[in-house]
Each structure stands twice: as structure tokens, then as C-alpha cells.
Structure 1
Amino acid sequence: MDQRERAGLQAAIAAFTTWGLLTVYWKQLGEFDPVELIAWRVASAALIMSVAVTVLRRWAPVLGAFRDAPTRLRLGAAGVLLTVNWTAYVWAVTNDRVLETALGYFLSPLGTMAIGVFVLGEQLTPFRWASIGFAATGVVVLTVSYGRVPWIALVIAGSWSTYGLIKRRVPLAPAESLTAEMLVLLGPALLTIVVASSGAGWPGAEAVWAQADGIDWLLVIGTGAITAFPLTLFAFAAQRVPFTLLGPANYLVPLINFLLGWVVYDESLPWVRAVGFGLVWFALGLVTVEMVRAHRRAVRLRREPATVA
């Protein structure tokens, strides 16, 4: 591994570790309504990303994307899916379901594969079919364990996988795309904040404006920074690290959430539930092994002509 790849891998590990530890951050805001928290996150992220795009002088691609009708629709869809994903995650964290968030992000790569097959018409290898089978069995076992379908995990996995599909069709770099998505969501986010702050919001919700103290305000405003910081690191890493290494590194996020939920927040993990998680992990292991084998095979094929010559 050369110095460029090593720097990229360090950035990737920092990004994924930050994303995983965001659970601790959101736990500190557990007394507030998740919907309003996401509205504040959108508003804060929109401000930070707008400043960043201004400094980098990258407004031209963003404005160009808004002038194209199909791209506008995709940005709107991406923004909605991101909102669903963020809200489900924050709701789960603040309602002591951290293990379900871990399950959701463990299932996301497998959900992406399912989209590839059933939406994009891609072909799966036997290894990948087996991985989907093990993951589906794991969800069934977890449903038995919970006594209900782990819907929050399925919402997180489904929204994130579909968000990835939409993002593939948005012709913008990661930072510019996030900026456009936040601008699409800014109007509804500000309206949500105003409604909640006026006291005319939903029953049982504690408006940030009425309840937050000094530390709370720092955390609420900081949600924009915790959105932009790991994304910047990830964008740096994605340009330097092979995806066969970057893909498995993604598992750091749900692994950290799993350990936080089980060890730190003492969420229940009976043996049946552990078996369900184990089946999902085995499914991910199959995918990872195949990715590594495919990468090695591709490298060998690239080298063979040079050897013959």
C-alpha cells in the first residue's frame, strides 16, 4: 500500500468511526423530537455546505443541476430518502433501539445487491445469492426474537440502499450533491422549526427553542458539522482507496453501533437475536470474500499481459 492509499484508508477509518459514534451524539439530544432535530440538522448542514461550496467556488455545478428537470427530481427524491433515513436512525437511537440501527446498516449492502438484481437487472454470483438467502433467514430469526418485524432496521436499510441508487444518477460530486439536497429540504426544514417553536407542533414534542440550554444549542447547531465532516473525509478516501477495501471498511459503522447498543446502552441481546445477527454477518462475510477474490483476479489479469511481453 503506497502513501496515497494509506492516507485514504486513514481518512476512511476516521469517517466511518465518526459516523458510528454519532449514536453517542444523538443520545445527548434524546429529550427532543427526532423530526425537529432532523430539521435543525438540515438547516445547519445547508449553511455549512453552502459556505464550503462558496469557498471552493463550486456553485456552477449545483445551479446547473437545479436547471435540469430530471436532476431536480432526483435531488428531491434523494433528499426525501435521506430525511427518512436520518429520522428513522435518530428515532431509534433516542428510543433505545441502537441494535436495530446496527442491523439496518449491516443489511444496507445486501439491500443494494437486491436493488441491483430486481431493479437494474444485474446478475448475481452463487456467493451473492447465498448471502441474500442468509440475510433473509437472519431477518426471519430476528423477527421471531423481537416478536415483531424489525421495521426500523428495514426502513434504515431500504432508504439508504435506495438513496444510493438515486445518487448514482445525480451528476454531482458528493459535497455538491449534499449541498443541493440540503437546499431542496431547507424550506420544509425551516417550516418545521417555526411550527415546533411556535408551540403549534405535535403533541408530546419538546421544541428545541423552548427547552434547549447552552450545551443543547451547541449540539443542535453542531449537527451540520457532524454531517459535513465525515462526508468530506469519505470523499477524500473514495478517490484513493480501492473499493474492495473501502466496502468492508463500511462495516465499522454498524459494528460500532452494535457494540454501543449491547455493551454501553445495555440493550437486550438474547441468544436467538445473536443468531439472527450472526446470519447477517455471515452473509456480509460471503460478499466480502467474493469482493477480495474478484479484486485479486482482476489484478492478476492486468499483470499477465505485461508478464507475457
Structure 2
Amino acid sequence: MSDERRGYVYGLTAYVMWGFFPIYFKHLRPSPPLEILAHRVVWSVVFVALLLAVARNWRFLGRLVRTPRLLGGVSLAALLIAINWGTYIYGVNSSRVVETALGYFITPLLVIVLGVTVLGERLRPLQWTAVGIGGLAVAILTIDYGRLPYIALILAASFGCYGLIKKRMSLPPAEGLFVESAVLLLPALAFLTWLNLTGGAEFGHVSVLHTVLMLIAGVLTAIPLLLFAGAANRVPLAGLGILQYVAPILQLAVGLLIYHEPMPPARLAGFGLVWLALIVFTADGIRSARASARIRAAAVTA
């Protein structure tokens, strides 16, 4: 198997795992979202620490301590990913899987907006078209829901900003996940301690299956991230751009086919506009990548 094909296998596996996450989180009820989030943080630290101990790779901690700006960036990234995880868990366990899928559909469009507003990037005409169609889709969905689709918007905004911060740092995936989870570890442990003292903890009191599923939260958090990192190093950017739609498509299918969430005509129209925006965005990205490749090839030939 070629290196690029292996990268596609890694990427597809990661996105399929993320796509079926709603089923996993549904099985963590009756634990409330904050308890699930706290356990996800704690067991992520434990699992990734074991991986790093086996690899004997702790040198990055020294660099982190010596660079306050990097430490501040990691702390902000940790806060954003906690908001993302917590919102996602809440969305799934409040029977809004379809809306969580919408959040990850519109994330690429929101990343474009962040590029303009934060990085001062200039958009190509088709990118502006995609953003405009996406804005119209959100307006239609707001009318359909009778409110802003706030779960989708929080998911998109938190993950988009998280990606922006991560892009400016150079920590590898395992090390990055460890540090981000470690920043959240003390608040998570304090919250779990409070839950146990007040008798509100569900962990260990529901069933053996529930306890086991909570314990493997760290493994299920880390493995797709590590697989994605392996894919990112082997697969062209255009290929990754297409793969990223696998997870929300599967989440949407889970919400509609397994949990039978409603999809009235107006909501379907809103999703249709989101998909149209993504087709325009992806086609423009592929066209731009091919043009850049031709320019580079011509420069090498010259």
C-alpha cells in the first residue's frame, strides 16, 4: 500500500469514528453533559500520558514552560475545545444530532470568515459566493427552528477558532492533546469531586457497561486525532478537504435514520443550501490547488 493510500485509510477511519460518535455519547446517559465532559478530559490525560511514557517523549514540556505565549495559546485552545466537546455532548444527548451535524457542515465556511476578519485574507469570488449561500442557509434554518441554531453555531465557531490557534502552534497531536487536557484536568477533577460529595455522580452507579464506556472516553478521543494526524502528513490538502465531510454526513444519517429526528421541508432546504455552499467552496479549492500546482510545475520547468 502506498503512503498516500495509507493516509486516506487513516483519514477515512478517523472521520468514520467521529461520524458515529453520537451513538457512543447516547450510551453515556443518564450522566449529564458536564460529567461526561469531565471524564473525557480525565481519561484523555491518562491515556495520552501512557502513550507519551511509552515513547519517552516529554521534552516538549520544557519548551512549553519556557514559552509563556505558547502556554497561553494552549490554554485558550483547551478552553475552546472544552466548549466544543461540551456543546456537542449536550446536543447529542438533547436529541439534536442533526443540528450538531449542521455545525460541522458550516465549520469550513466559518473558517473562511475567520480568515478574512482575523488574518486579513482576501477571498476569491467563489469563496464569497459560498459564504453568502451559507449565510442564507443559516437565515432559513433560523426561521425553521424559531431561533438561531445556536448549537451548530457554537460548534462551528469554537472548532474554527480552535483550528486557527492550533495552526499557529507547532505541537504534535499527542503532545497537544495531552497539554490541552492537562490544562482542563484540575477543573474536571474538582467538578467530579463535587458531584461525588453531593451525590450527583452517575459514574459507577448506572451499570458496568456505562462505567466501561466512560473509562474508554480517553481512548476514543485520542485515536481518531492520531489517525487524522497520520492522514494530514500523507494526503493532499484537497483530499483532506473532501474527507472532512464524511463525519457530518454520517452524523446526519445517525440523527435521521437511527434516532428519527425531524427534517421538515424548510430545514431540508436550509441543509440543501449549506451543501450547495460546500460544493462551491470545495470546487473552488480544488481549482485553486490545481492552478497553483501548474504554476509550480511551470516554474520548475523554467
TM-score higher than 0.5: yes
Q: How does 1:25-40 map to 2 (within 5 A)?
A: 25-40=24-39
Question: Which amino acid is the alignment partner of residue 300 of structure 1?
Answer: R
- Identify which range, 59-68 or 218-227, moves more after superposition: 59-68
Counterparts of 1:58-69 in structure 2, within 5 Å, are 58-69=57-68
* 1:195 is the counterpart of 2:214: no
| Contact preservation (8 Å) 1:170, 1:177 | no
Which residue of structure 2 aligns with residue 15 of structure 1?
14
> Are residues 1:239 and 2:264 paired?
no
- Aligned positions of 1:111-126 closer than 5 A: 111-126=110-125
Q: Which amino acid letter does the alignment assign opposite residue 150 of structure 1?
A: P
Which residue does the alignment assign to 2:213?
219
* Cα distance between partner residues in 2 of 1:66 and 1:54: 19
Aligned length: 302
Name the CA distance, whole Å, in 2 between partners of 1:115 and 1:242. 23
2:42 and 2:181 in contact (8 A); partners too = yes
1:27·1:93 contact (CA, 8 Å) conserved in 2?
yes
Q: CA deviation at 1:63?
A: 3.3
Distance 1:111 1:305 in 2: 33
1:170 CA displacement = 2.1
1:171 shift after superposition: 2.5
Q: Percent identity?
A: 37
* Distance of 1:169 and 1:191 partners within structure 2: 31
**1:307, distance to aligned residue in structure 2 (A):** 5.3
Mapped contact 1:45–1:228 kept (Cα < 8 A)? yes
- Match among 257, 266, 270 for residue 263 of structure 1: 257
Matched, 1:178 2:177: yes
> What is the RMSD computed on CA atoms of the aligned residues?
1.4
Measured after TM superposition, the shift of residue 305 of structure 1 is: 4.6
Q: Deviations along 1:110-148, whole A, 9 cap, x unmatched?
A: 111110001110000001101110001000000111111
Query: Distance in 2 between the 1:171 and 1:57 partners?
Result: 19
The offset of 1:210, in angstroms, is 5.6
Residue 142 of structure 1: aligned partner: 141
What is the Cα deviation at residue 209 of structure 1?
A: 3.3
- Amino acid across the alignment from 1:118: T
Distance 2:204 2:247 in 1: 33
Q: Normalised by the size of structure 2, how large is the TM-score?
A: 0.97
- Between the aligned partners of 1:59 and 1:246, the Cα distance in structure 2 is 30
Deviations 1:177-200 (A, max 9, x none): 111101111111111111111126
Alpha-carbon distance in structure 2 between the residues aligned to 1:89 and 1:297: 37
Equivalent position to 1:280, from 274, 282, 298: 274
For 1:147 and 1:95, the matched residues in 2 are separated by: 17
Shift of 1:176: 0.9
Q: Does the Cα contact within 8 Å between 1:103 and 1:277 map onto a contact in 2?
A: yes
CA distance in 2, matches of 1:98, 1:81: 20
Q: Could you tell me how far apart the structure 2 residues matched to 1:185 and 1:249 are?
A: 30
Matched to 2:235, the amino acid is V
- Distance in 1 (alpha carbons) for counterparts of 2:204 and 2:6: 44
Q: Which residue identity lines up with residue 253 of structure 1 in the other structure? A: A
Q: For residue 203 of structure 1, what is the aligned residue in structure 2?
A: none
1:293 to 287, 291, 301: 287
Kept after mapping to 1: 8 A contact 2:41/2:184: yes
The 3-state SS of whatever aligns with 2:155 is: helix
Q: Distance in 2 between matches of 1:41 and 1:306?
A: 49
- 2:107 is matched with 108
Query: Any gaps of 5 or more consecutive residues in structure 2?
Result: none
- Deviation, structure 1 residue 153: 0.6
Unaligned runs of 5+ in 1: 201-205
Q: Matches of 2:299 and 2:164 in 1, distance apart?
A: 35
Deviation at 1:168, TM superposition (A): 1.6
CA offsets, 1:148-186, max 9 Å, x none?
Answer: 111111010010001111112223112111111011111
Cα distance, 1:54 vs. partner?
1.7
**Are the structure 2 counterparts of residues 306 and 72 from structure 1 closer, same or farther at C-alpha, using a change threshold of 3 Å?**
closer
Equivalents in 1 of 2:213, 2:203: separation in Å? 13
